[in-house]
Copies of this chain bind each other. A is one copy, B any other.
Amino acid sequence: MRANAIRTNLIDGKVIVNAWLSIPAGYSAEGIGWCGFDSVTVDMQHGMISYEAALCMLQAISATPAVPIVRVPSLDPPMIMRMLDSGAYGIICPMISTRAEAEALVSACRYPPVGTRSFGPSRGLLYGGTDYVAHANETVMVIPMIETPQAVEEIDRILSVVGVDMIYVGPNDLAMAMDGSNVGQTPKSAAAIIHILERAKKAGIPAGIFCADAEDASRRLEQGFVLVTPGNDFGTLTRAARAAVGMVRGRASELLPGGY
């Protein structure tokens, strides 16, 4: 079975730079897959992505060096199994708040006797190889999101679940849930993030986090996160586009006072 380069790289002590896709198109997915990211995550929770688009995007990512990951909409085992069957090599699952939820997530991602994943590997066989079923349990990564106050409280219990390969912090949801903030981190949520990170290090579980952009991602690396996501495709595109419009309009207003 094709190895999961995220696992290998983490073992080798390398950091993982992860892309985040919310635009439902195989073309942009494939383009991002060639940009140097270690992994590319198809976001089916907040991204504007149908199953049909996700499948095409996973195929497109498979033609690049990046590892395909899916952020599923919720802890819904049938949906998680579908995305694994579709070739995802990692599942990021939002809103895991308890040990029981983490266990349910692991169970959905693992074939018996370890878990309860249903047999029907489909595209997994194409991306992973014909021996997919024998090795999937050790290859596919299970990544609960830590983004609720309850998860912060129960962090040690979540981290102790066998089969949790990494955790992924959702800082925006955490700040909203802890402080009702819609303008980013608060002192309380920032502290919680550091706490989560420390507990994860202690437990020997790698920790990743969603970041606003590359600068924020760099800062998170300094804090000790080993997987960072420097924003999503839509934000990256529109920020850059707005910057381009700004530069051109600026030049235009110099050239054409009264125009714009």
Contacts and interface: CB of A to CB of B under 8 A. Distances in A.
Interface of A: 12-15, 17, 19, 22-28, 30-32, 34-37, 45-48, 50-53, 55-56, 59-60, 62-64, 73-74, 76-79, 81-82, 85-86, 94-95, 111-113, 116, 118-123, 126-127, 133-134, 147, 170, 172-173, 176-177, 180, 182, 213-215, 217-218, 221-222, 228, 230-231, 233-234, 236-249, 251-252, 255-256, 258-260
B242 A233 contact: no
A89 to B, nearest CB: 13
A242 B74 contact: no
B240 A240 contact: yes
30 contacts: A13-B258, A14-B260, A15-B255, A23-B23, A27-B48, A27-B234, A30-B126, A34-B126, A35-B242, A36-B245, A36-B246, A36-B249, A46-B85, A46-B119, A48-B123, A51-B51, A63-B126, A73-B78, A94-B118, A111-B182, A112-B180, A113-B177, A119-B182, A213-B244, A214-B247, A221-B255, A222-B255, A230-B245, A233-B237, A236-B244
A249 B37 CA distance: 10
A123 B30 contact: yes
Given A36-B242, A59-B60, A122 B48 contact: yes
Contacts of A230: 244-245, 247-248
Contacts of A217: 244, 247-248, 251
Contacts of A28: 23, 25, 28, 234, 237
Nearest to A259: B14
A255 B251 CA distance: 39
B113 A180 contact: yes
Given A25-B48, A218-B251, 5 more contacts: A24-B55, A32-B238, A46-B122, A59-B63, A230-B247
Contacts of A59: 26, 30, 56, 59-60, 63
Given A27-B48, A51-B51, A63-B63, A15 B252 contact: yes
